[in-house]
Amino acid sequence: MKVVAQRSKKSSVSINNKIVGKIDKGLVILVGFTDGDSLKDIDYIVKKIINLRIFDDDNGVMNKSIKDVGGSILSISQFTLYADTKKGNRPSYIKAMNGNDATKLYDIFNDKLREYVNVETGVFGADMMVSISNDGPVTIIIESGD
């Protein structure tokens, strides 16, 4: 499992020019699954995300978590995180988990995040327009497994 987390001041996701999810202060997370990912991977990534100290404290030091600042999460499914670009110029997505299995894990992942913070989402598999106001910019890549 792989997640790209971006600290955000205001972000949204729309489908066919209609906003389906939006947040103010928080994190935009791009989420990808690969074969072999399980509930163990989800638990690991959820724990990392909710405790990641990348928000400023009163002294301007990144010392607070999303829970500490009362932030929200905009979660976007993104199978392209598992693109393989080693051969040629057209990425291969063979490492990405199939849609049926990934959808189930994505839903579980978001439900587990909702135990701690507000979570907005896009629509799995849809053609989405994501507008991210990356604050900092701060971008962290989190991977489970090895």
User: Which amino acids are annotated catalytic?
Assistant: 80
Residue holding tokens 């989420």? 31
Q: 3-state DSSP call for residue 105?
A: helix
Buried b (16+ CB within 10 A) or exposed e, 4-36: bbbbbeebbbbeeeeeebebebbbbbbbbbbee
